Chains A and B, each alone.
Chain A
């Protein structure tokens, strides 16, 4: 009988000790407050009543993006005309990506699809339950709304769906379909809404990247390198010219392979649909963050928050994301493994240390990451490392370790060297370097960590 109070006392003591160790993480909040950076910029600039200005920018963000717990995009007139809604990105996927999403769904929802098929065959009315992570959420509501008459037992799985052409109207292009077909379609071409993707981000990414993607999650604060601030729209390991917005497929591949040598894990076990949804959410956070930054910039310039300027910022930022594919960096054919001779590597070494490519200035003569060009004079005259876009000190990679964050294949390194690394001090290769020069650099870099069949690293 004395058990209960004493367990309670024990639990309380445990809790107290956890508190006193300071191990209780902050509870990140979802809010559409503007960031501290925005407040600081407005306060510093010549903006009248900066508090009011900040509140107006916050209000504008809510208007354009909803709140992070009820996200959505404000549709511009042009989109309405084109029937485009970036909040429902299913329609933006390439055919290949759409097929990959369907393939992934067939595996992820195999149990549901099988159950619907069995129910159709048995002439049963019951529908299968949603898989656990989706149960009770937004998806459940969507599902119930779509199949309400079925759930209520008013119609049968074999009955004609109201959206279907009747038997008389049906044609080969537009065949009739039943409630059962519709239920199968629901699972086979399932695509997460922004809200569902936000939920996935909340469980898988938030503790590092933070609720609004600022890279300030409770775990993220102790990491080196810090998790990316996703509100910037600037990424390092892309397939586009540096500092351009990444392509959808590029981001999916990034999530699948993770960032080797950092805390960023590989999310290869997520289905393609989930990954595409996460890309939607990354884009949401970025477009929102960039719009906030640009609106703040305009407000500082103009001394006031003008609705027209916020709208201009929204349009400009979307322009950047919409042209991502145009800046995709094609990789020309390079030498095959057999063609990578000692001469190619020697040519790469010469370029690496030469003044045109000038890699050695940062990476050091032997590629150990100990070059001189990374140092600068700080505010108090001290010698300090140059900072990257996010205020972190630069550490040029030690290329002899053979750990490449953006991927270690020759094509990955080609892109890295050709376009530089977004947000960091590593510049794009000099335009006068030819494709062959870049390939030579790639193979010199790879040779630094290659053991040539000898065991051990």
Chain B
């Protein structure tokens, strides 16, 4: 009797754990809200899909384990207290618990490889996407700094445009980052894009993404997305937050032209302002 109660408790615990792995997403989805931030990057849904898929396997496997555990508690032990039943050399069982997990691991690996390639292709905008916009990203304790090539499309020329914290990007156009770190390892992370990549000193790390115009509009055209550093990089890590500013291509062109020209323009005191005073 006691054993049955414990076994049922174990089973209940298993149900609780498994449900807690899957339920929040269903409940929130039923309530019309999202478990994850909006998927704004091309290929973002593949990341979520992979997550759900892996999670499902993990939950299933965990559930089975709990069932086995409960069964072992209830029936597995000997009839009298302190007396265990013994099994050894069951080839069938050995094969089963080697092949099934191995199959799952191989399956998940293949799914990930496939997703990774698909995400990389999506992130470049897929076929027929325009020329990507290259941006140099510099992570430095504790700021994000950006360099744009300007109208001539070449870096290291006079019309380069620099920006700190704010990173304007055109919606719907593939963006290609070349990321460097000045000091320690940082990590470029924009949750809505489902993109996260370490920025390692001494090397240039590429990262491509495209903001999906339709998804962006569907999410209410957010004007800023947070860009966080996802690698503990020192005492100011918490404050190393930039802002991705999605905008229409023409607004981006305007911004780039204005910011570039501002560096060359004469700056004089406006006379009329003084006169009015």
Residues of A within 8 A of B (CB): 94, 219, 257-258, 260, 263, 265-266, 268-269, 328, 330-337, 340, 408-412, 446, 450-457
Contacts and interface: CB of A to CB of B under 8 A. Distances in A.
Contact of B266 (A258, A333, A337, A340): A333
A455 B155 contact: yes
Interface stretch (B76-84, B89-97, B161-169): B161-169
B190 to A, nearest CB: 15
Contacts of B196: none
A260 B145 contact: yes
Contacts of B243: 268-269
Contacts of A335: 264
B143 A266 contact: yes
Nearest to A337: B158
Shortest Cβ-Cβ A-B pairs, 7 listed: A409-B263, A451-B156, A453-B154, A268-B165, A333-B266, A337-B158, A331-B267
18 contacts: A219-B235, A266-B143, A268-B165, A332-B266, A334-B266, A335-B264, A337-B159, A408-B162, A409-B262, A411-B264, A411-B265, A412-B263, A446-B158, A450-B157, A452-B154, A452-B156, A453-B152, A454-B156
A337 B151 CA distance: 11
A450 B269 contact: no
Nearest to A95: B273
B239 A452 contact: no
A331 B164 contact: no
A331 B268 CA distance: 6
A257 B165 CA distance: 8
A254 to B, nearest CB: 12
B74 interface: no
Greatest chain A CB density within 10 A among B243, B262, B266 is at: B266
Contacts of A454: 156
B266 A453 contact: no
B141 interface: yes
Given A452-B156, A456-B204, 7 more contacts: A268-B166, A331-B267, A332-B266, A340-B158, A450-B157, A453-B154, A457-B156
A269 B125 CA distance: 30
Greatest chain B CB density within 10 A among A258, A263, A265, A328 is at: A265
A234 to B, nearest CB: 22
B143 A452 contact: no
Nearest to B136: A457
Greatest chain A CB density within 10 A among B141, B235, B267 is at: B267
B50 interface: no
A450 B264 CA distance: 16
Contacts of B166: 268
Contacts of A265: 142-143, 236, 239
A410 B264 contact: yes
B241 interface: yes
A308 B165 CA distance: 48
* Contact residues on B (Cβ < 8 Å of other chain), bracket: 20 to 34
Interface string B119-159: 00000000000000000000001110100000010111111
Contacts of B154: 452-453
Interface in B170-210: 204
A339 to B, nearest CB: 10
A453 B264 contact: no
Greatest chain A CB density within 10 A among B141, B158, B204, B266 is at: B158
Contacts of A334: 264, 266
A8 B268 CA distance: 65
B156 A336 contact: no
B69 to A, nearest CB: 26
Given A269-B243, A453-B157, A336 B141 contact: no
Nearest to B274: A325
A385 to B, nearest CB: 24
A411 B263 contact: yes
Nearest to A435: B266
A330 B142 contact: no
B158 A450 contact: yes
A260 B265 CA distance: 22
A452 B266 CA distance: 24
B118 to A, nearest CB: 28
A331 B159 contact: no
Given A333-B266, A336-B264, A411-B265, A451 B155 contact: yes
Contacts of B268: 330-332
Contacts of A410: 158, 263-264
Nearest to B134: A455
B263 A453 contact: no
Given A258-B143, A266-B143, A340-B158, A333 B269 contact: no
B138 to A, nearest CB: 9
Contacts of B157: 337, 450, 452-453
Contact of B269 (A330, A336, A446, A455): A330
Nearest to B157: A453
A411 B267 CA distance: 8
A453 B155 contact: yes
A340 B157 CA distance: 11
B267 A266 contact: no
A424 B263 CA distance: 24
A336 to B, nearest CB: 6
A408 B164 CA distance: 12
Nearest to A329: B267
B53 to A, nearest CB: 36
A333 B152 CA distance: 22
A333 B265 contact: yes
Contacts of B262: 409, 411
Greatest chain B CB density within 10 A among A219, A333, A336, A409 is at: A409
